[in-house]
Amino acid sequence: MTRTSFQTQVSGDALDRHMADARAGDRKAYRQFLAEATRRIRAMLARKVGADSELEDVLQECLIALHEKRHTLDPGRPVGPWMYAIANYKLIDHWRKRGRSRLVLDDEVEMDVAADSFAGMDIAALLGELPEAQAQAIRLTHIEGMTNREAGEHIGIGVSAMKLRVHRGMLRLKEIVDEQRP
């Protein structure tokens, strides 16, 4: 059994199935992959930047990057985290070009954070400095693009507990970044 067929059998995610089929030459599956990726990335961007007029521009940059970087995806790995990482990098690039921006951390709590606060920093190392519960909450909501409800259900906690973990984790990350600045 090849890695791709193993991935397709194990993963119930439409992104994984569409990408595996697209790699096998199915053009319709690639269009379906792009449609599903568009839906998910648009939802992630809407949570992070709101219904901003620039959302569609960032979305298009994300889709172009997915197309250009599709060869970097390991066939044995899930598509979602790879896709959301690219989308997050494109969003950070957008914020860098634009300057400071308001970053929405979760559904109810907002904090002003410089758009490039984490630019040039090793996110994995920063998350490694947090308690695992907070790091996991941030990975699920801000890297993988899940909602607080989806992330909470994924690990078996309530929405309020997830929001609290994300909020405390983001506050701590901001402190860590501020401490590391000269």
* pLDDT digits 0-9 by tens, 36-82: 999 999 888 888 876 666 788 889 999 999 999 888 888 888 898 99
Is pLDDT of 16 > 80? yes
> What is the pLDDT at residue 112?
41
Measuring CA to CA, how many Å separate 90 from each of 31, 63, 84, 145, 161? Answer: 21, 10, 10, 14, 29
Contact yes or no for 114/122 (Cβ under 8 A): no
Evaluate whether the domain defined by 100-182 bears CATH number 3.40.50.300.
Answer: no
φ/ψ (deg, to 5) at 141: -90, -35
- Share the mean pLDDT of the chain: 79
Domain 1-98 belongs to what architecture?
Orthogonal Bundle (1.10)
pLDDT band, residue 32 (cuts 50/70/90): very high
**Averaged pLDDT, 111-140:** 72
What percent of the chain stands above pLDDT 70? 77
The answer, as to whether pTM is greater than 0.85, is no
* % residues pLDDT > 90 (the chain): 19
* Residue 179 pLDDT: 80
Instruction: Annotate 79-146 with DSSP letters as a single string.
Output: HHHHHHHHHHHHHHHHHHHH--EEEE-SSS-EEEE-TTTTTTS-HHHHHHTS-HHHHHHHIIIIIS--
Q: Tell me the mean pLDDT in the region 85-94.
A: 88
What pLDDT sits at residue 118?
Answer: 53
Domain boundaries, the chain: 1-98, 100-182
Can you give the pLDDT at residue 30? Answer: 92
Confidence band of 3 (pLDDT split at 50, 70, 90): very low
